[in-house]
Amino acid sequence: MNEATRAYSAAHFALELDGKQDVGLFKAVEGGDVKMDLIKYQDGGNHAPTLLRSGKPKYADIKVQVGMAMSRTFYDWITNFTRGNDDRRTGAIVAADFYFNERARREFAEAMITEVQFPKLDGNDKNACFMSVTLTPETVKYKPGTGNKIVQATGFDEQKLWAACNFDFVVDGFEAACRRVVKIDAFAIKMKPIDYQVGMRRETIKVMGRIEYPNLTFYIPEADAKAFTDYHQKTTATGELQSDERLHGSINCYDNAQGLLFTVKYAGAEIFGITHDKGDAASEDIKLAKIEMTVETMSFIYPAMEVASV
């Protein structure tokens, strides 16, 4: 049997962007399928069979799971997206077998990032973390693999460990109250693209829409919540925040050696809810306070450091 036609189990997924073949490896990938709506034509009042014609192609979003095994090229793309920049890339997602031989390609053009979802961070969870990133391309083409070895950047042969427990949450001016943040709920930065139809062009042009920044929810021991409670009561009483009263801060994620992996900075935040745990005389758990705040802007920042496997 020809090696190129032999059935295989895809074990590795690589990304190529703008001609660069060493962008990094995914954990999982789905989507990129092509579908077309059928258009029906019926001639007059006769009983001739209905004619069917294919409409414009629709390309499904490509969703990938990534950890810290990508290159700066990819993380800079995420940074541009979170800052609202219209950053489009052309490239390919390459599926390889267990031996890193390229078996299939999904080539895309004019792709934009439309969602980045960050996982829940929990001080009691030592499992590895992964982000979910959604790419919205204008066109996708499936091609057979070349059979060549996929290119791996130096230091990317192993997943750089990003554990859910290695993080800190900072609110400027509330550092003491944040020193024991227990958990941060998952959150996602989204953008809904706008479809723009142009004349007889078959493919739909994607135009960047408005960035939607999420609310942040974090948990601290109730013993540390007084500073936030006082702030919330003050802003609730006045009913309006001054510009210098809005909160700013960051979420920092680290590797096992406490090396900084990335930072998510937020600004213009306002606390809109504080919920205390249910009081239960039989419970031995530490009583927590759940703090919810809305943010105006958020940005992903990848540090200027050498990427190495841990």
Q: What is the pLDDT of residues 247-274, one digit of tens each?
A: 999 999 998 888 899 999 999 999 999 9
Q: Mean pLDDT check: name the lowest of 106-115, 192-201, 290-299.
A: 192-201
SS3 of 263, please? strand
Q: What is the per-residue pLDDT for 187?
A: 96
In a domain, 239, yes or no: yes
In a domain, 43, yes or no: no
The answer, yes or no, to whether residue 58 has pLDDT greater than 90, is no
Q: What is the per-residue pLDDT for 253?
A: 94
Domain of residue 81, residue span = 3-38+51-301
For 44, phi then psi, to 5°, come to: 45, -140
Chain segment 13-57, per-residue pLDDT in tens? 888 888 887 788 888 888 888 888 788 877 766 666 777 777 778
What value does the CA radius of gyration of the chain take, rounded to a whole number of Å? 24
In a domain, 55, yes or no: yes
pTM of the model: 0.84
Measure the CA–CA gap between 305 and 192, rounded to whole angstroms. Answer: 32
Average pLDDT of the residues of the chain:
84
The answer, yes or no, to whether residue 306 has pLDDT greater than 50, is no
Structure-token match 């290119």, residue found = 151
Chain segment 90-143, per-residue pLDDT in tens? 999 888 888 788 888 889 999 999 999 999 999 999 998 999 999 999 889 988
In a domain, 95, yes or no: yes
Confidence of residue 178 (pLDDT cuts 50, 70, 90): very high
In a domain, 309, yes or no: no
Task: Tell me if 128 sits within 8 A of 163, measured CB to CB.
Answer: yes
Question: What mean pLDDT is predicted for residues 55-67?
Answer: 87
In a domain, 189, yes or no: yes
Confidence of residue 157 (pLDDT cuts 50, 70, 90): very low
* Region label for 243, one of left (φ > 0), alpha (ψ between -120 and 50) or beta (otherwise): alpha
Confidence of residue 183 (pLDDT cuts 50, 70, 90): very high
DSSP 79-107: HHHHTT----EEEEEEEE-TT-BEEEEEE
The answer, yes or no, to whether residue 290 has pLDDT greater than 90, is yes
Chain segment 130-143, per-residue pLDDT in tens? 999 999 998 899 88
In a domain, 184, yes or no: yes
Chain segment 229-242, per-residue pLDDT in tens? 988 888 776 666 66
123-141 burial code (b ≥16 CB/10 A, e <16) = beeeeebbbbbbbbbbbbe
Q: What is the per-residue pLDDT for 286?
A: 80
Q: List CB contacts of 76: < 8 A, sequence separation 6 or more.
A: 302
Q: What is the per-residue pLDDT for 305?
A: 43
Domain count, the chain: 1
* % the chain with pLDDT above 70: 85
Q: Mean pLDDT check: name the lowest of 2-16, 68-82, 147-161.
A: 147-161
| Cα 200 → chain centroid | 34
In a domain, 46, yes or no: no
